[in-house]
Amino acid sequence: MTQETPLDTSHAAMEAAPQDDAARLRFYERLADSELFLMLEREAEGDTISPALFETPDGTFALVFDREDRLAEFAGQIVPYAALSGRMVVQMLAGQNIGLGVNLDVAPSAILIPADAVTWLQQTLGQAPAEVDAEIESVTAPRGLPEVLISSLDTKLATAVGLARSAYLVGLTYQGGGQGHMLGFVDAVEGAEPALAKAAGEALTFSGIEAGALDVGFFAASDAMAGRLARAGLRFDLPQPDPAGLAGQGPSAPGRDPDRPPRLK
């Protein structure tokens, strides 16, 4: 029996509750976070790729699969492909009037996502919370947050490998009045702040909470604030890369370098 993937699980939950907006959002979040195998028309040329496009009565679709063997099963032969994150696939296709066929004919999570939904997902992924710049008066344990948000943050931060050491979810009171919640990152890698802020924003958005705000902050472990976060906050430990597994490796294929996304041809 083929092992169920996170995309299969989230798709099944969405299908079981068609009126549940939160279940649908979680499926799209898993899609964005998954590594996908995009079928190509021909081998990549440097950073330029040509997705294999399929015309249907419902529009034009590129095809992705969340496992290499699923791609092979669908194609029935050796075909070129690019391994990309779901968010990178969406970023490339948005605004091109191209939809996304996911795991077609080979998995229970098979679905056709129309072009307008691809564009919506790309826009949703572009949202990010504001970084804290107000003076903080007190730090407390988080209160009144729904469990779905805690679970979403836990799942999201598990994908941020090596971007920070840890994060703490806390309640805040600001000088001059005002209260809120903050996700404070400790020892973030230099330059990773925008990606971490986006991850926090996506967790909030895809948790299905219609009204809510979550600030983000970045602190060194030596900062006094880091100690206050540790005493009051809910801790998330971010996974760290295996140094041995990284030795001698570097981006060598389209999509492996997030700073150089592939181009469509």
Measured N-to-C along each axis, helices 21-33 and 6-16 cross at an angle, to the nearest 10 degrees, of 160
Host domain of residue 172:
136-243
What is the tens place of the pLDDT at every residue in 215-229? 889 999 999 999 999
Q: What span, in angstroms and rounded, lies between the C-alpha atoms of 201 and 128? A: 5
Regarding whether 160 and 80 lie in a shared domain, the answer is: no
Regarding whether 121 and 142 lie in a shared domain, the answer is: no
pLDDT exceeding 70 applies to what percent of the chain? 86
pTM value?
0.72
Q: What span, in angstroms and rounded, lies between the C-alpha atoms of 102 and 21? A: 20
Q: Is 141 exposed, middle or buried (0-12, 13-18, 19+ CB in 10 A)?
A: exposed
Regarding whether 210 and 175 lie in a shared domain, the answer is: yes
Regarding whether 28 and 115 lie in a shared domain, the answer is: yes
Q: Per-residue pLDDT for the chain (265 aa), expressed as one digit of tens each?
A: 468 999 999 999 999 998 888 889 889 999 998 999 999 999 988 778 999 999 999 899 999 999 999 999 999 988 999 999 998 999 999 999 999 999 999 999 999 999 999 999 998 887 666 555 668 889 999 988 888 889 889 988 998 899 999 999 999 988 877 888 899 999 999 999 988 988 888 888 888 765 467 888 999 999 999 999 999 999 999 998 876 554 444 444 555 454 455 665 5
Q: Is residue 236 part of a domain?
A: yes
Place of tokens 């679970």: 151
Number of domains making up the chain: 2
Cα torsion 37, 109, 149, 154: sign? negative
What is the pLDDT, as a whole number, of residue 263?
61
Regarding whether 20 and 112 lie in a shared domain, the answer is: yes
What is the tens place of the pLDDT at every residue in 140-190? 999 888 888 898 899 889 988 999 999 999 999 888 778 888 999 999 999
